[in-house]
Amino acid sequence: MPDILSLLQCLLPQINATTMRQLNQIIIAMLAMSGRVTMLGISRWAGIGGSYRTMLRFFQTVIPWATLFWLFFRKHLFRANEVYLLAGDEVVISKSGKHTYGLDRFFSSLVSKPISGLSFFTLSLVSVEQRHSFPIQIEQVIKSDIEKSSGSPTLEIKAKEKRGRGRPKGSKNKNKTEVILTSELLRIKKMINELVKLIANFIPLTYLVLDGHFGNNNALQMARQVNLHIISKLRHDSALYIPYQNPDPIIVHAVNTERNWTGVIFLMNICVKVVLKRISKPILTKLVCCTKNLPSPSM
């Protein structure tokens, strides 16, 4: 397989010739073998020069994988006229035993329940035109003590205190941009900062694509802190509000009350419906704007 070696020549500034030769044998074995990839399986398919001891030496070598992935992508896969998105996702694989580093229980979407295994979080560059994903940075997820303790808490059923309708008196507005990031979001933020530093503005990144697990305000603020806009899936009961800008000039300003207008977007409808509701007395005004004749939601 001399073609593989020629493709890997761009990695020589980061790894030596011995590691390059071992990597070439591992790539050939992984392309030929089927089933789960293990060091023993790779050594059996690698042929001459790919013994199990060689596999041990290779995997004990410290290799800057993110730098290697980026060099290979920039040399052979990058297209200057294409648009790229930064996407992140977590991958869980099952693993038996008790002594593997990072072994814990993680939620697997394939079986829809937590399983014993290993978890890895990957940041990829996604080509919009080719619809291909190119992994750049991969990091193993190691649960902290706080995450382990909050995994399956024992909740005590308490009677909810009944309170009146409306907003409690004396409550103040909170700044939604001031949030406390979880250890998971801090780990992802660190990975994004390292990747942006590695790319060094070679590719302009604007959007961060994450799954529905990150469709919340905390993940949004994390993305804004790294100068990215998040693309994710919201919950079905998410409430979106249009920010207040200017009062309606049609309404008479004779009422000495502060006007509070809230624009609500109903995601269940095909078109966007804007409902403007006046919270102050003495009247309740509704205004529904849409492009299709759909039944207006109940207020």
Residue 167 reports pLDDT greater than 60: yes
Listed ranges 65-74, 146-155, 237-246, 250-259; the one with the highest mean pLDDT: 65-74
Residue 255 has pLDDT above 50, yes or no: no
**Two tokens, residue 256:** 């000495």
Partnered with residue 92 across adjacent β-strands are: 119
CB under 8 Å to 198, separation ≥6 — which residues?
Answer: 66, 67, 70, 136, 137
Distance separating alpha carbons of residues 63 and 7, to the nearest angstrom:
18
Q: Inform me whether the pLDDT recorded for 281 exceeds 80.
A: no
Q: pLDDT class for 151, splitting at 50, 70, 90?
A: low
Query: Whole-structure pTM over 0.85, yes or no?
Result: no
CA 180/CA 186 separation, integer angstroms: 10
pLDDT over 60 (residue 161): yes
Highest mean pLDDT among 159-168, 219-228, 256-265: 219-228
Helix (H) or strand (E) holding 261: strand 261-265
Q: What is the mean pLDDT of residues 79-103?
A: 91
Listed range (104-108, 132-136, 237-241) with the worst mean pLDDT: 237-241
How far is residue 251 from each of residues 5, 254, 278, 294, measured CA to CA in Å? 74, 9, 11, 27
- Helical H segments across 16-156, by residue range: 17-32, 39-46, 52-59, 65-72, 145-149
Taking all residues of the chain, what is their mean pLDDT, rounded to a whole number?
79
276 forms beta bridges with 263
Q: Which has more confidence, 197 or 252?
A: 197
pLDDT at residue number 177? 86
Task: Give the chain's domains with CATH numbers.
Answer: 1-63 (no CATH), 64-149+176-236 (3.90.350.10), 239-299 (no CATH)
| Residues composing the chain | 299
Query: How many angstroms separate the CA atoms of 186 and 226, rounded?
Result: 11
